[in-house]
Amino acid sequence: MDIRGKSIILSLAILVTMLGIWEMSVHKPESSEPLSEYELLMGGAEQESRVPPPSDVLKLAASELSNPFYDAGPNDKGIGIQLGYSLYRVLAGYLLAMLIALPLGFVIGMSPLMYRAINPFIQILRPISPLAWMPLALFVIKDSEASAIFVIFICSIWPMLVNTAFGVSNVRKDWLRVASTHELSRLRTALTVILPAAAPTILTGMRISIGIAWLVIVAAEMLVGGTGVGYYVWNEWNNLDLTSVIFSILMIGLVGMLLDMILAAAIKRVKYQE
Amino acid sequence: MKNSFVQVQNLAKRFPIANEEELTVFENANFAIEKGEFVCITGHSGCGKSTILNALAGLDEPTQGCVIMDGKEVVGPSLERGIVFQNYSLLPWLTVMDNVKFGVRARWPNWSKEQIESQCHKFIDMVGLNGTELRKPSELSGGMRQRVSIARAFATQPKLLLLDEPFGALDALTRGNIQDELINIWNETKQTIFMITHDVDEAILMADRVLLMSNGPRARVAESVVVDIARPRKRAEIIDAPEYYKIRNYLVNFLVNRSKELSGSSPSLNEEPLTVNPGVETRPMPETKAIA
Ligand SMILES: Nc1ncnc2c1ncn2[C@@H]1O[C@H](COP(=O)(O)OP(=O)(O)O)[C@@H](O)[C@H]1O
Ligand SMILES: [Mg+2]
């Protein structure tokens, strides 16, 4: 068997073992003692708030995923709808960031003057936690939806910008000479030589950005509330529905992985060997 | 000189060096290239051959002097001058076909798709690469890559072709084959070619004239050696030509002995290199020490 087959079997073995340990450790033996006074006071909530076993999570997942888009009021929407809200915000902020970062990255990468002029701003703004912008965004924009999108915008712009500028400024001089000996205009040079040459670096920046954006959207939605998978996690925690919390955590991971895989596939398409 | 196709006039290149007098690579370089001529230039590393070629290409500005092609001064690169670099300079994300197309499309933006394709195929065939059109450069050997680069340059049919040590990185066998191909293409297209080479045999095989440069700094284009051997020349037969060893000895002698002696003294303004024809002249060769 090749290493691929072996690794799949090993992964499955690890998964089953972990789930087994988890299942065993949370299954309390049926308590025969009568409820204590405290437990009575909590109305049996203690019983509910133990970490649920994976079998419960799987059961919930099956029922949630069989109807992911149901909508029964503001506090009861299907996981599909919640993920949809989050994806919408992430993509909106991300596309806005692309619209600015790619052209600006080209300008910075092609002009040493612009690089020097703009670099200090990037250096100061880049290390700021995206959530630190939230109060300012809420105050200025006065709209929680737009503020969440802004936070995604601001966190995903830096890797794209920096990688684009880096990729563009490091295009091999030989290739630029080919462009100039063929009398290509600056725009044509940018599109037919610099863009394909820098594409793997640019897309790597975009891959980092989408990862960060997906990390940040959960936190942002916990703050602004209303809709989205971040809000969903927080809401289920307030409901003490840990099964749903665990289920949504897994879904966040799954969607994040899919987003990453899309960008990885795009990188593979534009990668070239020198 | 006055009516030549290419005129290099009092060309000089100097570099400022920190805390030192500026470095003069060469100055007062004067020479001409006629239409349809195949001219090689040779000299030791660092004497300024690439600098001269880049000035001809318009890629690099000389400190002084100018290059005139077809009656116009060369300012900046142009599609009228095709270049083949030693490191091929292919675009690695494009296929063989698309690399050649890159040049053709830039040259004739108004051509139809069919015209462009047929021009590309013609030159890909000419360098013997048909069947590899869809490969990327990374899937080709060094010799094949250089063929693509030659096809790209020839396909744009420039008035002047500049080749900077095009075969320097290739093994002897491959080099021989591509030399033959280059001669064949040149026979068909009658393009004007200026080529840098370190290889004396290559220069004799291909050139009408070989320009000899003395060692730098302050190198000079010292002599213009006429290669008076009938064409078509074949690699296997050229060594039987009576002129062959005379020319070869002359060139080797220059590179081994005289290039050093001549270095350090610049020519005067408008001074042209001495024309010699070692194949026919009985003029005694200066110090015939070096033999094959
Ligand atoms: N930027 C530079 N600064 C200083 N000297 C340079 C620079 N570029 C080239 N040179 C010098 O110019 C000389 C000629 O270089 P080049 O034309 O590449 O030589 P060749 O092609 O004949 O080997 C070399 O001696 C090199 O040291
Ligand atoms: Mg050189």
Residues in chain B: 292
pLDDT digits (tens, 9 = 90+) for B97-142: 999 999 999 999 999 999 999 999 999 998 889 999 999 999 999 9
Give the whole-angstrom CA distance, residue A144 versus residue A154: 15
Other beta carbons less than 10 A from residue A66's beta carbon: 9
A21-35, A247-261, B160-174, B228-242 — most confident range: A247-261
Nearest CA in chain B to A180: B77
Q: Which helix (H) or strand (E) holds B30?
A: strand B23-33
Give the whole-angstrom CA distance, residue B40 versus residue B195: 5
For residue A41, the CA-to-ligand 2 centroid distance in Å is 90
CB of B51 sitting under 6 A from ligand 1? yes
Both tokens assigned to A26 = 């949370």
Q: Do residues B88 and B150 touch, judged by C-beta distance below 8 A? A: no
Give the whole-angstrom CA distance, residue B284 versus residue B278: 9
ipTM of the complex: 0.88
Query: What is the distance in angstroms between the Cα of B103 and the nearest Cα belonging to chain A?
Result: 7
Residue from B74, B91, B101, B140 to probe the interface with A (highest A Cβ count within 10 Å):
B91
What is the residue-wise DSSP string for A98-153? Answer: HHHHHHHHHHHHH-HHHHHHHHHHHHHHTTS-GGGGHHHHHHHH--HHHHHHHHHH
Task: Find how far residue B142's CA is from the centre of its chain.
Answer: 19
Identify the pLDDT of residue A29: 56
Please check the confidence at residue A84 and state whether its pLDDT lies above 70.
Answer: yes
Give the whole-angstrom CA distance, residue A236 versus residue B148: 64
The answer to whether the Cβ–Cβ distance between A177 and B138 falls below 8 Å is no
Give the whole-angstrom CA distance, residue A228 versus residue A221: 6
Give the whole-angstrom CA distance, residue B120 versus residue B110: 15
- Reported as half-sphere exposure (CB side, CA atoms, 13 A), residue B130 has a value of 9
pLDDT digits (tens, 9 = 90+) for B26-82: 999 999 999 999 999 999 999 999 999 999 999 999 999 999 999 999 999 999 999
Give the whole-angstrom CA distance, residue B31 versus residue B272: 6
List the domain boundaries for chain A.
Answer: 54-66+75-270
How big is the CA angle at A195 (ends A190 and A197), to the nearest 5 degrees? 115
Answer whether A33 touches B (CB < 8 Å). Answer: no
Average pLDDT over residues A32-42: 59
Q: Output DSSP code: residue B33.
A: E
Give the whole-angstrom CA distance, residue A108 versus residue B60: 24
Give the whole-angstrom CA distance, residue A193 versus residue A189: 5
- Chain B, residues 77-96, CB within 8 A of chain A, namely 77-79, 81-83, 85, 87, 89, 91-94
Confidence of residue B3 (pLDDT cuts 50, 70, 90): confident
How big is the CA angle at A98 (ends A97 and A101), to the nearest 5 degrees? 80
Q: What is the CATH number of domain A54-66+75-270?
A: 1.10.3720.10
Which residue in B59, B89, B156 is closest to A175 by CB distance? Answer: B89
One-letter identity of residue A55: S
- Reported as half-sphere exposure (CB side, CA atoms, 13 A), residue A33 has a value of 7
Residue from A175, A176, A178, A194 to probe the interface with B (highest B Cβ count within 10 Å):
A178
One-letter identity of residue A51: V
For residue B25, the CA-to-ligand 1 centroid distance in Å is 7
